[in-house]
Structure 1
Amino acid sequence: MSSDGVYQHHRIPVTVTPADLERLLWVLVAVSLVGDVVTTFVGLHLGLAESNPIARSAIEGYGLAGMLVLKGLAVGIALACRPLLPEEYRPIVPAGLAIPWLAAVCINVYMISMVL
């Protein structure tokens, strides 16, 4: 198999800078945070249990406020650590929050759908 040196390169028609990507990921953090909190409390209302022991303790002890403080601490730590990275690597910070929270939303929605 050979190629005649002909390669097709497909490029996105817009340029996405690390700053643009980071901004988009912070929006995703906000959406996933709200989604996680809402689906968690809907699931709890339907009789499901929180599987994360730290979140479970916060919820059992302080309810919604405990969950929001826990999420706020995670976002605060992320914001505090963000300046330690070079600008081109900073999008990893919101991605590190958004990805697990989006996974939690998917799991929560699945578990809720099993109960309904």
Structure 2
Amino acid sequence: MSSDGVYSHPRIPVTATPAELERLLWVFVALSLVGDIVTTFVGLHLGLAESNPVARGAIEGYGLVGMIVLKGLAVGVALFCRSLLPREYRPIVPAGLAVPWTVAVCINVYMISMVI
């Protein structure tokens, strides 16, 4: 079977370098981190419970400071792992933080809306 070399590849209409994408994703990490902390503590204030046992232990033992330290440790591990990757793969690191934290924010907002 032969081909004339014409293939249709879907393209994102905006081009960005891996460094630009990574920078944007780190902004997303910061926003999702703050959103997770805020919505977690609003939910706790309204009587909801933290479902993550590690986060629950940090919050019960040290409150807001414990949660911030826990998030800081996650960012620190991510930054260390980032240095082990080739440049073109580094955007996966902030995406790996931002996606689950954004999902947590969405779940928290949903749970808060059910209580209010």
- Cα deviation, residue 83, structure 1: 1.1
Matched with 2:74 is 74
1:14, distance to aligned residue in structure 2 (A)? 3.5
- Percent identity for Structure 1 against Structure 2: 83
* Structure 1 gap ranges (5+): none
Cross-structure match for 1:85: 85
Aligned partner of residue 83 in structure 2, secondary structure: helix
Separation in 2 of the partners of 1:115 and 1:51? 16
Residue 33 (structure 1) shift: 0.1
Q: Moved runs in structure 1, 4+ residues, more than 4 A? A: 5-13
Distance (Å, rounded) in 2 between the aligned partners of 1:92 and 1:6: 30
Whole-angstrom distance in 2 between the partners of 1:10 and 1:103:
27
CA drift of 1:58 comes to: 0.2
- TM-score, scaled to structure 1: 0.90
SS in 2 for 1:31: helix
Matched with 1:100 is 100
Q: How does 1:1-116 map to 2 (within 5 A)?
A: 11-116=11-116
The one-letter code sitting in structure 1 at the alignment partner of 2:33 is: L
Give the whole-Å Cα distance in 2 for the aligned partners of 1:77 and 1:9: 35
Q: 1:14 to 1:44 in 2, by over 3 A?
A: same
Number of residue pairs matched by the alignment = 112
Q: RMSD of aligned C-alpha atoms?
A: 1.6
Give ranges in structure 2 of 5+ residues lacking alignment: none
Q: 1:34-83 CA distances to partner (integer Å, 9 max, x unpaired)?
A: 00000000000000000000000000000000000000000001001101
TM normalised by structure 2 equals 0.90
